Amino acid sequence: DAGVIQSPRHEVTEMGQEVTLRCKPISGHNSLFWYRQTMMRGLELLIYFNNNVPIDDSGMPEDRFSAKMPNASFSTLKIQPSEPRDSAVYFCASSLGQGQDKNIQYFGAGTRLSVL
Amino acid sequence: AQKITQTQPGMFVQEKEAVTLDCTYDTSDQSYGLFWYKQPSSGEMIFLIYQGSYDEQNATEGRYSLNFQKARKSANLVISASQLGDSAMYFCAMKGSTLGRLYFGRGTQLTVWP
């Protein structure tokens, strides 16, 4: 079975440009998570969806960030306009559910974003 | 709020030896889950092992075991018979009983030397 698929793997862009990160969760998983990893802040949750509905977006830094999940097999994280401080590795993860503590989150390979 | 603390920024172990990576946590939830992930230099996050707060037995997965001490709120990862390929960053994480998010520690960089 294919794991969580993220694209692109690397993205280099200039400040002010729009960036769109994509994620395909594991088939059958109904929870999807976006995390960001930086040296300064470590791994932090940006937003997560359950059954395509955003449940917790308290980690979204500001209005420049938006996330959508139009269907069970696809999600996007968009940054507009991008800034150098957005440079990080962005991970998407999926799990079978949210409430039970046994629901293991499986991560994609990540997107390394560099904003110049 | 949940909090995960990993006090060892770096650990070194010789090949074939066992190593323990420390993790302590803080939560007011009665039911929670504890996880360990491995992040090699290639960057992906690999799930290793899970321990539920009500599990009476310590979790084991191959060479990985979790030393769970509930009263002390610790969930240390033990890697037996270390291999060179175990060199990586290791993250401890916790999930509460209601929300789905994981809370991560800052990680421990493990280096296995020949």
List chain B residues with CB under 8 Å of A48: 100-101
Instruction: Please check the confidence at residue A115 and state whether its pLDDT lies above 90.
Output: yes
A104 at the B interface (CB within 8 A)? Answer: yes
The answer to whether A101 contacts B101, with C-beta atoms less than 8 Å apart, is no
- Cα separation of B59 and B76, whole Å? 11
Percent of chain A with pLDDT over 70: 94
Task: Verify whether the Cβ–Cβ distance A107 to B37 is below 8 Å.
Answer: yes
Strands A31-38 and A88-95: antiparallel
Q: Which of A11, A37, A43 to mutate to test the interface with B (most CBs of B within 10 A)?
A: A43
> Which residue on chain B is closest to A105 by alpha carbon?
B47
B73 φ, ψ to 5°? 55, 50
CA–CA distance, A40 with B41 (Å, rounded to integer) = 18
In this prediction, residue A1 carries a pLDDT of: 64
Q: Please provide the average confidence, as pLDDT, over all residues in chain A.
A: 93
State the smallest CA–CA distance between residue B35 and chain A in angstroms.
Answer: 8
pLDDT recorded at residue B96:
82
Check A105 against B102: CB less than 8 A apart.
Answer: yes
B100 with A31: Cβ contact below 8 A: yes
Span A64-84, pLDDT tens digits: 999 999 999 999 999 999 999
Cβ–Cβ < 8 Å for A55, A35:
no
* Coil vs helix vs strand at A86: helix
How distant is the Cα of B14 from the closest Cα of chain A, in angstroms? 27
What are the tokens at B109? 């960089």
Give the whole-angstrom CA distance, residue B3 versus residue B109.
19
CB A53, CB A30: distance < 8 Å: no
> What are the CA-CA distances from residue A95 to residues A10, A48, B28, B35, B56 (Å)?
24, 11, 23, 13, 24
The tens digit of pLDDT for each residue in B51-79 reads 999 988 999 999 999 999 999 999 999 99
